[in-house]
């Protein structure tokens, strides 16, 4: 990743179709489109690739999470369990609909610890949101069993893991709902965009309406459509969908390049004493967009990361000190720095949640380093990079 490394004729052809018609909006203007419906085509193709019955394109990965939660009827006062290691969009989407993000510890998968999830369930819990960070997945089998036992929604955030799978099912399609991001630094990019997939017809209908002001999309006259329920504007444009269509046809190629480069680096790091790797649950296949490894101590990892950066190794991340992706950097959430007033119920519960002890998460995150795997590194470049990394770590 990211897909923008390999823009080409595929994307240009799709975008030019839209520009030639002049219709940038995904709805209406039927007689001017020259038969081009890029968002609809993307949705159908993507649903097929993800082995899902339905797909709804939206304007971003954050929008996808928001729309997915709303489509499942989750709202004010409901609790959504999420991990301490994720992108800020996870709790932003939950707060957006008036629900409460309940942060819980991760385990050595760097995703939700099922035991921590069990301990966090209350009568107000409505959803468990595992986040498949850095191309690998949560223990979905265990999480699904928990959700089935407690009648909870399993919502997969697969924004960083497109192309991965669990037990033969594409990530994002294992739970009740799955969300993807197509922003500029994802494996498949639209520039900006996202998607919700599901096998539940009601959720799909709700998502279709919610992301477009509540329009029912029945008939061919947009102005005559009714509004079965409230909605907002999370639509994707035809231009963004067109770029995504061009990228989508190259997904398998992208993942194969990532896998080759990932394996070269992993095999090299195996030679270093003290290096161990993030646990991938049995039955899981990564999308190989990142290689994440552990060092024996947090101080060793912090020093190693500093040495790697000083040694010219780019695309190297020490998430423990990252403001965007780990709970230690979420001061605005922990201190409830909101431009608008948060509901009293959210404020009170959030204060309680954010005062929890996350030392288990610290123990894993403090020792972890992630290496982004780029598409444009050829095999020779990758081997040279891997040897440089090995020598610095030694």
Catalytic site positions: 186
- Taking the mean position of all CA atoms in its chain, how far away is CA 10? 24
List the structure tokens of 20. Answer: 């030639």
Supply the angle between the helices 238-248 and 38-49 in degrees, to the nearest 10.
40
Question: Which helix H or strand E contains 159, and what residues bound it?
Answer: none
The CA–CA distances, whole Å, from 288 to 177, 232, 329 equal: 23, 35, 26
What is the C-alpha to C-alpha distance for residues 239 and 126, in angstroms, rounded to an integer?
Answer: 36
- How far is it, in rounded angstroms, from Cα 128 to Cα 146? 9
Give the residue among 102, 151, 160, 98 at the shortest CA–CA distance from 131.
Answer: 160
Helices 251-269 and 379-393, axial angle in degrees (round to 10): 30
Strand ranges of the sheet holding 165-166, from the earlier edge strand across to the other edge: 169-170, 165-166, 284-285
Which residues sit opposite 102 in a β-bridge?
A: 81
CA–CA separation, 75 and 227 (whole Å): 19
Report in angstroms the alpha-carbon separations of 3 from 25, 242, 253, 287. 24, 14, 11, 13
Per-residue tokens: 56: 């709804």
Let me know if 281 is exposed, middle or buried by CB neighbors in 10 A (0-12, 13-18, 19+).
middle
């Amino acid at each position: 990743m990211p897909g923008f490394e390999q823009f080409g004729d595929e994307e240009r052809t799709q975008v030019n179709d839209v520009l030639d018609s002049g219709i940038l909006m995904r709805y209406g203007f039927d007689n001017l489109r020259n038969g081009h419906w890029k968002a609809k085509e993307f949705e159908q193709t993507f649903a097929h690739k993800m082995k899902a019955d339905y797909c709804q394109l939206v304007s971003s990965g954050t929008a996808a999470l928001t729309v997915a939660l709303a489509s499942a009827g989750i709202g004010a006062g409901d609790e959504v369990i999420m991990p301490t290691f994720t992108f800020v969009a996870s709790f932003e989407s939950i707060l957006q609909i008036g629900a409460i993000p309940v942060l819980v510890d991760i385990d050595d998968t760097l995703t939700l610890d099922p035991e921590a999830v069990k301990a966090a369930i209350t009568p107000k819990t409505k959803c468990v949101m595992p986040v498949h960070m850095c191309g690998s997945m949560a223990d979905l089998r265990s999480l699904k069993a928990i959700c089935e036992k407690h009648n909870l929604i399993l919502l997969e955030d697969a924004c960083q893991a497109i192309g991965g799978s669990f037990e033969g099912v594409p990530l994002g399609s294992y739970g009740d709902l799955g969300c993807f991001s197509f922003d500029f630094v994802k494996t498949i990019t639209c520039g900006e965009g996202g998607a919700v997939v599901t096998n539940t017809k009601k959720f799909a209908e709700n998502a279709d309406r919610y992301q477009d002001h509540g329009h029912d999309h029945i008939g061919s006259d947009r102005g005559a459509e009714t509004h079965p329920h409230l909605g907002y504007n999370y639509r994707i444009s035809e231009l963004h969908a067109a770029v995504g269509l061009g990228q989508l046809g190259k997904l398998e190629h992208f993942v194969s390049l990532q896998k080759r480069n990932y394996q070269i680096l992993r095999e090299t790091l195996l030679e270093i004493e003290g290096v161990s790797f993030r646990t991938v649950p049995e039955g899981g296949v990564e999308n190989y967009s990142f290689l994440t490894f552990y060092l024996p101590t947090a101080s060793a990892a912090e020093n190693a990361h500093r040495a790697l950066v000083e040694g010219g190794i780019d695309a190297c991340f020490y998430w423990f000190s990252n403001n965007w992706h780990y709970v230690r950097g979420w001061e605005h959430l922990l201190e409830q720095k909101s431009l608008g007033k948060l509901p009293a119920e959210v404020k009170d519960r959030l204060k309680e949640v954010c005062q929890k002890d996350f030392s288990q998460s610290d123990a894993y995150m403090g020792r972890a380093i992630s290496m982004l795997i780029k598409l444009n590194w050829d095999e020779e470049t990758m081997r040279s990079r891997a040897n440089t990394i090995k020598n610095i770590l030694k």
